[in-house]
Amino acid sequence: MKAIVARLRLNSLYSIRIPFTWQSSLTYPVLPPSAVIGLIANCIQRYKNDKHPTEYLEMIEEKIVWAGSRLLSPCIIKSFITSAIVKWEDEIGGKFTNALGRQFAYTKEIEIAAIFKDDTIINDVEFSLKYSPFTCGDSESISSLESIEIKNAEKVNMEEIDTFYPIPFNKDTQILSGKGQIFFMHERCKKTEEDFPLFSYLVPLTQKNKVLYPELIRVKVMKNTNEVFLIGDRTFVIKRVQTSKQNTVRKK
């Protein structure tokens, strides 16, 4: 297996909306797995420009074994009131806009990574990230590529690992050291069933004076529900392999 590891520079504020928030529009501090997959699929579609975007999304989702992201620098999240246009025509005195709360985040750099089943499209993914424009979250969150590497990846058997990347989390997860915050995330972009489940992930973070900092956590691997992959020489990540009622939220 091969993995793409890319360092992204955030050129401005970014907002990766948590799916079940609307009027509050809360944001993730990092890209959930679905956002990493969507970013890669958008880039390769723009680079190739020969198929419909959903065709590339299906292809990328089929090829990717695991995807995730992590902070490389401190992150600040702030809430703002924005004015959204709700209709373009109305009578004089009518209401054209609606005030909505929205969170924005800012950090200097984020690292994204994705493990692929094989290397049939790995070069296309690398070139597309180098030469196609992309955003983190919504269309306003312009980003640029700082560096990109192709690394070997393999499934390994480990009792405990240290990682900076988000890990699947439920009541049985044993955190041996480090801190984090729990977020519900989509693992894929497309529905595979009638519902669209969100899974709980622990994002390694520590907060000081309202600033989020990347954190290294040590976790005990749950053999029945986790798979461990090694990217390169020393980056360990955990993949969820079994759905549990205790760590999912279903979005109707």
Among positive and negative, which fits the CA dihedral 218, 219, 223, 226? negative
Residue 232 belongs to a domain with what CATH number?
3.30.70.3120
Q: Where are the beta strands (DSSP E) in the chain?
A: 2-10, 64-71, 75-85, 97-107, 109-116, 134-135, 142-156, 160-163, 167-168, 174-177, 181-185, 196-203, 205-208, 211-214, 217-220, 226-231, 235-240, 248-251
220 has a pLDDT exceeding 90: yes
Q: 63-118, pLDDT tens digit by residue?
A: 999 999 999 999 999 887 776 676 667 677 666 666 676 788 999 999 999 999 98
141 pLDDT band (50/70/90 cuts)? Answer: confident
219 pLDDT band (50/70/90 cuts)? Answer: very high
Burial of 244 (0-12, 13-18, 19+ CB in 10 A): middle
Q: 2-13, pLDDT tens digit by residue?
A: 999 999 998 888
pTM: 0.85
The per-residue pLDDT for 67 is: 95
Phi, psi of 186 (to 5 degrees): -85, 140
Burial of 62 (0-12, 13-18, 19+ CB in 10 A): exposed
The per-residue pLDDT for 86 is: 65
The per-residue pLDDT for 246 is: 47
What would the mean pLDDT of 138-153 be, rounded to a whole number?
86
24 membership: H or E segment, kind and range: none
pLDDT above 90 covers a percentage of the chain that reads 48
* CB atoms closer than 10 angstroms to residue 176: 11
Mean pLDDT of the chain: 86
What would the mean pLDDT of 161-187 be, rounded to a whole number?
93
Name which of 16-25, 53-62, 107-116, 120-129 the model is least confident about: 16-25
139 has a pLDDT exceeding 50: yes
Residue whose structure tokens are 């246009």:
85
What is the spatial distance between Cα 14 and Cα 39, in angstroms, rounded to a whole number? 14
**Domain hosting residue 227, numbered range:** 2-251
Q: 39-66, pLDDT tens digit by residue?
A: 999 888 888 888 888 888 888 999 999 9
Tokens of 132: 């196609």
Cross-strand partners of 228: 156, 238
Report the Cα–Cα distance between both ends of the chain, in Å, rounded. 35
Q: How many domains does the chain have?
A: 1
